[in-house]
Structure 1
Amino acid sequence: MPKENMTRYAILGLLASGCTSGYEMKHTIDTSLNHFWKISFGQVYPMLKTLVQEGLIVEETGEGDDRKTFVLTPDGEAELGRWVEEPTTELPVQRNELLLKLYFARHESKDTTIQKINQHAALLRERLETYQMIEQSILAYTEADDAMYWLLTLDYGKRKTQALLEWCEASVQTLEGGNSS
């Protein structure tokens, strides 16, 4: 059985959360979803077209407005609800270039490896700062029924990032000849 295209559910979910145009979706993808689910903007409009053809959404155009907006149909809401209720049965496979290089790092100096890990840690600290800004933004937007769930996904990212920072510290310590525990 082929894997389902999760972009369809991301688009349905974005519509259910109030993003009605491709522009709004791109903004939400860039500022929220891309932290845990990668979607290229080039996937959005073809998927919108497919969802219209399947009758899960309808396209609307305002009077005197060229901007296209989209709305979930009852079938679209049902499809999103069905998918959300399905259990998640697999752990995601992470592709991490740093880990791949680290696996073969005996071919470079320890100093170079330590430098790469420290650079990775700097990126992680930047991500943590971004997550903190996102959290403030969500907390300021308390009207949203989705806010509690957005905060749960954000908490996952913050905790994972913090754990990765701890891994970076332990790895550098190991490479420098100290304990890694």
Structure 2
Amino acid sequence: MPRENSTRYALLGLLTTSCRTGYEMKQMIDHSLNHFWKISFGQVYPTLKALEQDGLIVLSNEEDDRKAYELTESGETELRRWLEEKPEELPVQRNELLLKLFFARHEPLEETIEKITHHEALLRGRLETYEAIETMIRSSETQSPDAMYWLMTLDYGKTQTRALIEWCERTVRMIEGGTDDETENGRTE
């Protein structure tokens, strides 16, 4: 079975929020979805056009010289159908740090540690961002029927980020404590 274009469903879903224009959708993507689902700006308008051609959305009016859309009944049905499907695969992440770590015996230990601690600093920055988003949602979006679900996705990101920070700390300790064993196995000093 061919993979479905999930960008279609992300945009259909965004139309259930306050987003009506491609610009508003891109803003929501950049500030929210982008933390777990990448959609380029170049995908938004062609996908909106395809959704309109498929009868899943209609042009409702123009807001500030921007086209505003709304879901059709068919669009709502399609979104619900997609939401009911259970993902059958775990996501595969591409992680350059892990790729480099896989081959890291070919570099000095200090460089490997430096990469991991840099990664940890980036993760701590991400965690701060997530906490700021949570504060914003809890203070201004509590009236939104979506707030509980936004907080669930945010909690997933926060939990994963904390686990990755712990992994960085453990890995650095392992490298620092395992220097002699690693060197004996052919690791470069």
Q: What range is the shorter-chain TM-score in?
A: over 0.9
* Aligned alpha-carbon RMSD (Å): 1.1
TM-aligned CA deviation for residue 62 of structure 1 = 3.4
Q: CA deviation at 1:144?
A: 0.6
- Deviation track 1:75-107 (CA, whole Å, cap 9, x = no partner) reads 101110111111121100111000000000111
- What is the CA distance between 1:60 and its match in structure 2? 2.8
Residue 76 (1) aligns with residue 75 (2): yes
Matched pairs, number: 177
Hey, what's the Cα distance between the residues in 2 that align with 1:108 and 1:60? 59
SS at match of 1:171: helix
Query: Which aligned segments of 4 or more residues in structure 1 are displaced greater than 2 angstroms?
Result: 60-63
Q: How does 1:123-162 map to 2 (within 5 A)?
A: 123-140=122-139, 141-162=141-162
Aligned-residue offset at 1:67? 1.5
Unpaired runs of at least 5, structure 2: 179-189
The CA deviation string for residues 44-89 of structure 1, in whole angstroms up to 9 with x for no partner, is 00000000000000013338x5211110001101110111111121
- Distance (whole Å) between structure 1 residues aligned to residue 77 and residue 100 of structure 2: 44
Q: What are the residue-to-residue correspondences of 1:36-75 with 2, within 5 Å?
A: 36-62=36-62, 65-75=64-74
Secondary structure of 2:177's counterpart equals: coil
Quote the sequence identity (%): 66
Unaligned runs of 5+ in 1: none
**Structure-2-length-normalised TM-score:** 0.91
Matched, 1:26 2:29: no
TM-score where L is the length of structure 1: 0.95
